[in-house]
Structures are given as C-alpha cells and as structure tokens.
Structure 1
Amino acid sequence: MDKAWFTISVYSENNVGLLNRISGIFLKRHINIESLNVSRSEIDGVSKFTIVTFTTEDWSRKIVRQIEKQIEVIKAFYHTDEETIFQECALFKIASDLLFDERQIQNIIKENHSEIVTVARDFFVISKTGRRREVDAMYDQLKPFGIMQFVRSGRISVTKDVMAITALLNGFHEEV
C-alpha cells in the first residue's frame, strides 16, 4: 500500500493522560505524528484531537481501532486530504527596521495574503493562515531577511461530509 497524508479525528472526554496514551499508540508502531492539535469540539464537554500522519490507509485504520479502545475516547475517524478542509496558522517575528527599509517584505506580506498582527519598536509579527506548503513558501521568502522567531500551529480541519458523531452525541446528551 502507498503512503499518504491522513487526518485522524478523535472525539473524547477531556481527561489527564489521554494524550500520552494516544501518542504511545503511534510510538509502538513507529509512526510519526506530523501535526497535533487539541481543542474543544462542536459538542459541549467533548474535546477533538486532530492528528496528521504520513502512513498507509491500513495503518490508519488500525490506529483508529486502537485509539477507540481508550476508555475516554468516544469515537475516532481517519480521513484523506481530499475528504477534509484544513489549514495551519503561523507567526513570523521579524526585525522592525526591515518593514520600512526592505520594500520586498511588504510585497511578501501582500502576495502571501498574510497580515501584520503587531508592531513594536524592535520587531513586528506577521500571521499567515493556509496550507503547509503555503506557510513553508512564505518561510522560504522571509528567511533571507532574518526571522527572529517562527511558530506554526498543528493542522485544524473539518470534513467535507457530515460527521455522524455530532448527531450521535447530541442524541446522547438529550437522553441524559
């Protein structure tokens, strides 16, 4: 089987230690987690893990089954990139003098559909939202000017199809 990018969505209770146990499932199989984001979900009291891996569909299926064995996990899914809409966010901290002395910096900001989120005496911060390759391209453009700090978020995603988990959990909350 060919390797591809998979987004694994895990809906769970918010309990201490679950992240460690989930990451252990990947560790045992020698599968790298390329990106990880945890946030509240659309359902009250339920957290959503968004995990990105580069592996086979067979391994993704096995990992999801193992994750679902964790007692706090309500449901887990895996999706291909074609089945999801996804973004990342990045922040670039750059020396302030470059904003005014290097016209190219302003062009990079405009061409990459990014924005300046703060300006201080010694630095300014640019925010870029997009796909990984778009963030990487902007990084490559800014690198020659000197990046003081750089950070990127994990992937956040929603599925193109309706997620059955929402109806399932809403029904569960109504019964309780």
Structure 2
Amino acid sequence: MSTEEQLYTISVYTENNIGLLNRVSAIFQRRGINIESLNISSSEIEGVSRFTIVANMLEDNVKKIIGQIEKQVEVIKAYYHDDEETIYQISGLFKIKSDLLFEERQIQNIIKESSARIVTVNKEFFVLEKSGKKEEIDLLHRELKPFGIMQYTRSGRIAVTKDEMKISALLETYNN
C-alpha cells in the first residue's frame, strides 16, 4: 500500500439520480480532499452513468472514499486506479484573435508542433483544440499566452482502464 499521495482516477457507475453529485462531492469535502477533475457521462451500459473523478490522496483514503461512495443507494459499483492503470485524456479549447494566425508564423509552428487542431476560424478569432495529458495542455497554454488568449477552458479527465473492468458481468448478475 502506498504511503504517498498520488493521483487516483475513481470510476463510479450509478443510476442517474438528482442530488447524487452533491452527496459524492460531500464525501471528498468531509475528508478535506480536493477534486482535481470531474466528468459525468453515459457509460458502456445503457441507463448507467459514469462519474470519473480525479483526486490526489493516499491509497488508504481512496479505499475509504470508495466505501463511502458505494453506500449511496444509486451507486452500482466504484473503482479506483492510479495513472499506470489507466489510459486518459483531457481536452483544452483556446480562443485567439484571428489576425495572429496569419501574421505570427510562431503561432503556426506552435499549432503544428503541439498537434493541436483548428476547430473554427472567422475574421475575429480562431479556436484551437488540443487533447492529451494535462502537461501537454498546460504547455500549449504557456506557449500561446504571450500572444493573448481571449478565452480558455479545459475538460475533466476521461479515462478507461488498461485491464478489463468487471462491471458488465456484475450488472448481468443484478438483471437475472
């Protein structure tokens, strides 16, 4: 068991009920743990939502939090994984003045080197999208900042595990 804090990705499979997000976030709040990112989406199972929560903590704390989350009536199952056990991405959107795209060769080089893609261009602004690890998005942000970023936003982590998750088999037993 790890005695150092590290980032954990927590996957929570749940029925989609009002108020659950507040109760889940309260579990972290009571323990004084900050949620680094949160994403909620449909899952691979019809009618089941998946929360993907990223937080920095000790392994002992993540085990306790999983136990607390699973006590929620709507929660089917919760899992935690470290970064070595997951494949993950985040996405960043950058809105920048259009004249820079055509007048600043350096911006064109930054776009090419970062593998960002241009989502839209009009006469006032263009929007770049970059998916990757947090460090890659942060690097692109630092490189574009001197040129003036009109707007910027970053998504929460989305992740899948390298190993099979037994959630589908678990749900089959509930349905029989």
Q: Give TM-score scaled by structure 2 length.
A: 0.97
Q: Distance in 2 between matches of 1:24 and 1:120?
A: 43
Q: In the alignment, does 2:53 pair up with 1:62?
A: no
| Pairing of 1:23-172 with structure 2 (within 5 A) | 23-172=25-174
Q: Give yes or no for contact 1:43–1:170 (8 Å, CA) kept in 2.
A: no
- Deviations, residues 101-120 of structure 1 (Å, cap 9, x unaligned): 10111111110111000001
Q: Distance in 2 between matches of 1:99 and 1:142?
A: 11
Q: Distance in 2 between matches of 1:88 and 1:161?
A: 20
Q: In the alignment, does 2:17 pair up with 1:15?
A: yes
Q: Distance in 2 between matches of 1:172 and 1:113?
A: 44
What SS does the aligned partner of 1:167 have?
helix
Q: Distance in 1 between matches of 2:163 and 2:65?
A: 21
Unpaired segments ≥5 residues, structure 2: none
Q: Distance in 2 between matches of 1:157 and 1:70?
A: 23
Amino-acid identity (%) = 63
- Deviations, residues 3-54 of structure 1 (Å, cap 9, x unaligned): 0110000000000000000000000000000000000000000000000001
Q: Give yes or no for contact 1:115–1:128 (8 Å, CA) kept in 2.
A: yes
Instruction: Tell me how far 1:172 sits from its aligned partner.
Output: 3.3
Q: Distance in 2 between matches of 1:136 and 1:170?
A: 41
Q: Distance in 1 between matches of 2:136 and 2:84?
A: 17
Q: Distance in 2 between matches of 1:59 and 1:103?
A: 49
Q: Distance in 2 between matches of 1:171 and 1:39?
A: 23
How many residue pairs are counted as aligned between the two chains? 174
What SS does the aligned partner of 2:61 have?
helix
Instruction: Tell me how far 1:171 sits from its aligned partner.
Output: 4.3
Instruction: Tell me how far 1:168 sits from its aligned partner.
Output: 1.4
Unpaired segments ≥5 residues, structure 1: none
Moved over 2 A (4+): 170-173
